[in-house]
Amino acid sequence: MKTSSVQVAIPAAVSHADSVRPTAVRWRIFLILLLLSAINYIDRASLSVALPLISTEFEMTPALEGLMLSAFFWSYALMQIPAGMLLDRFQVRNIIGVATVGWGFFQAIAGGAHNWTMLLATRIGLGVAESPIMPAGAKLNGAWLTPNERGRGATLVDGGAPLGTAFGAIIIAGLITWFDSWRIAFFIAGVGTMVVGIWAWWYIRNHPSEHPKVNAAELAYITNANDAATKANGGRKAVLKELLKSRSVLAMFAGYACYNSVFYGLLTWMPSYLHKAHNLDIKAMGGATFLIFMCGFVGEIFGGWLADKWKAAGGTPNKVMRTMFGGSAAIAALCILVVAYTPDAVAVISLLCVALFFIRWCGMYWCLPAILGGKSKAGVLGGSMNFCGNMVGVIVPILIGLIVQYTGSYFLALIFFVVMAFGLMLFSSLIDYRERGLA
């Protein structure tokens, strides 16, 4: 039924495409996805901000604090592949709505927790509920965007990570200070998330042909570009067993794991590093963290724009993506290597700003599930990729802690980030970025 409606709409769309300016509904949808992914990071970071108060109230040991912080990542990572499979089988729009309202609910009821076991349960629930959002972005990337727009779409979805990280601590800390209660702060954040989730469900659609605000010109623009890519590549059906044996898919998993090793490592340990190694007080550390991650957000949006413009100007997908991924990873590795030998705090912050600006170009990895797996398998490939990325989110912070504890410095931890950046560069060079046109 969906296919016939698209086919009926195309002739009318083509006849009016030249005389009517296309609407921009697709970009409004991806701005909503940016907002959702930013809220995703704000809510997941809320515990870290409130932990000193919660730990005192519940008399938690450091080991218990570590368990509480890791609970989200375990459930979030383990649900990635099931979430991707659900997205490939059911309507993306409905899953986004249910997931967002669900994680808002768990965030809100966390404010009513009266012991650490109840709080732990809400963190596990938060991880489960948040799990479909990033794979959903990959799925919508394949349905709503043309081959020359996928880079910008991917970085809009992934850009919520540095944006939410930059603003999350400020927002949650501000709410705790304003109401003098971490419980009220959690409740407000949760209710706000649920409201945004209902709004997102109301606006988002699974396909451009289903959206009442999409005009004939926009529908023709999206459909014709994707149909051309499909016809050029034979319109083959994606087969999951074949995909999982593909060098490009395996390199995508490994490259994304290396990318997240750097990002999650800096996300979890950079504030402590700035405080202990460079004697920044809490206020200066907060300001530096905000600045560094905002540079990451700006870099990510710029990288997506540059990649799409380059491809639109005639650059081949392999040349564009391998150059941008390899170049950004190399610059980030060099900056972090220099940080390891730099005693000046201002220089360190400046170098980390540059490193985050460039390495966040690799947020364009989120356009790869749609390219490599087609519309039918974008969800499960996106979920599998995010599973790999978030398992290192569990392991890397622990590994860095052990390195710092046993060496007494952050030097080898920074060298580890350099090695991971070079791994990102290597694996990115093994991926074939050409459009498959898979169904």
- pLDDT by residue (tens digit) across 150-159? 888 888 888 8
pLDDT digits (tens, 9 = 90+) for 376-404: 677 788 888 888 888 887 788 778 888 88
Read off φ and ψ for residue 417, nearest 5 degrees. -65, -35
Where is pLDDT greater, at 165 or 196? 196
What confidence category does residue 85 fall into, taking pLDDT thresholds of 50, 70 and 90?
A: confident
The alpha carbon of 162 is separated from its chain's Cα centroid by a whole number of angstroms, namely 9
What confidence category does residue 196 fall into, taking pLDDT thresholds of 50, 70 and 90?
A: very high
What does the angle CA 76 – CA 366 – CA 220 come to, to the nearest 5 degrees? Answer: 125
d(Cα 280, Cα 95) in Å, to the nearest integer?
43
Show contacts of 408-411: CB within 8 Å, 24+ apart: 409/277, 410/269, 410/273, 410/276, 410/277, 410/340, 411/340
What does the angle CA 392 – CA 272 – CA 278 come to, to the nearest 5 degrees? Answer: 130
What confidence category does residue 235 fall into, taking pLDDT thresholds of 50, 70 and 90?
A: low
Q: What is the DSSP letter of 238?
A: P
* Domain boundaries 24-214+233-428, corresponding CATH code: 1.20.1250.20
Q: Which of 368, 437, 26 is nearest to 227 (CA)?
A: 437
HSE value, Cβ hemisphere, 13 Å, CA-based, for 427 = 21
**Tell me, what's the pLDDT at 339?**
95
**Tell me, what's the pLDDT at 86?**
85
**Cβ proximity of 358 and 328 under 8 Å:** yes
What is the rounded average pLDDT for all residues in the chain?
A: 85
d(Cα 268, Cα 327) in Å, to the nearest integer?
25
Percent composition of the chain: helix, strand, coil (DSSP 3-state, to 5)? 85, 0, 15
The beta strand positions in 7-102, using DSSP E, are none
59-63, 164-168, 180-184, 373-377: which is most confident: 180-184
Side chain identity at residue 77, one-letter code:
A
d(Cα 324, Cα 307) in Å, to the nearest integer?
8
pLDDT digits (tens, 9 = 90+) for 266-318: 877 777 788 788 888 767 777 888 899 899 999 999 998 999 899 889 999 99
Whole-structure pTM value = 0.76
The residues, ordered by sequence, that sit 6+ positions from 383 with a Cβ below 8 Å of its Cβ are 80, 81, 82, 83, 84, 85, 87, 131, 135
Q: Which of 204-213, 225-234, 265-274 has the lowest mean pLDDT?
A: 225-234
